[in-house]
């Protein structure tokens, strides 16, 4: 009988030191959660949304380009029952942006502004959090799902 097979690991320390009795290794991790965003719609109006957000995504350097990241990402999408274009990506790295463009055709972004930005400011301060949408109109699904 195997005990604790479904133990949840909630921090990187417990993942790092779990041995899995020599039967496996940690390939990477994907952290998601809901995050309040302040977006600009196509007319420049502020829209508040709280979509599911990729907060952190990492695959070990030596294991990249073997399909593990895609497998991990697909599992998360299935588990969360969400489409990638309906998610936000918190401060995406250039590698994550390339991954999303290659595998999901996510190339357009919806600007997010800091909540303390003035609505009358001619050029709001844009943060590095993006809600990426497929090649079609990025506002179509964004405002329908979150706004």
In a domain, 12, yes or no: no
Here the CATH number for the domain that contains residue 33 is: 3.40.630.30
CA 11 to chain CA centroid, Å, is 18
What's the pTM value of the predicted model, to 2 decimals?
A: 0.67
| CA quadruple 83, 88, 90, 93: dihedral sign | positive
In a domain, 34, yes or no: yes
How many Å apart are CA 119 and CA 138, to the nearest integer?
Answer: 22
pLDDT tens series, the chain, 147 aa: 333 434 444 444 444 444 555 667 889 999 999 988 888 777 878 888 888 999 999 999 999 999 999 999 999 999 999 999 889 888 888 899 999 999 998 888 777 776 654 555 555 444 445 555 555 555 555 555 444
Q: What is the pLDDT of residue 132?
A: 57
The strand ranges marked E within the chain are: 28-34, 37-40, 46-49, 52-59, 88-90, 108-110, 129-133
Q: What is the pLDDT of residue 107?
A: 84
- For 57, the domain range is 25-146
In a domain, 16, yes or no: no
Q: What is the pLDDT of residue 129?
A: 55
Backbone φ, ψ for residue 23 (5° rounding): -100, 5
Q: What is the pLDDT of residue 102?
A: 93
In a domain, 2, yes or no: no
Q: Please state the domain count of the chain.
A: 1
């Amino acid at each position: 009988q195997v005990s604790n097979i479904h133990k949840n690991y909630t921090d990187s320390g417990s993942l790092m030191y779990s041995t899995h009795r020599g039967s496996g290794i940690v390939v990477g991790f994907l952290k998601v959660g809901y995050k309040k965003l302040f977006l600009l719609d196509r007319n420049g109006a502020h829209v508040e949304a709280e979509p599911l957000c990729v907060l952190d995504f990492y695959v070990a350097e030596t294991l990249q380009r073997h399909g593990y990241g895609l497998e991990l990402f697909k599992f998360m999408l299935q588990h969360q029952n969400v489409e990638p274009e309906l998610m936000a990506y918190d401060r995406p790295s250039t590698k994550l942006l390339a991954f999303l463009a290659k595998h999901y055709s996510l190339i357009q972004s919806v600007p997010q502004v800091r909540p303390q930005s003035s609505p009358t400011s001619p050029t709001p301060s844009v943060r590095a959090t993006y809600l990426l949408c497929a090649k079609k109109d990025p506002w179509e699904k964004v405002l329908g799902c979150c706004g």
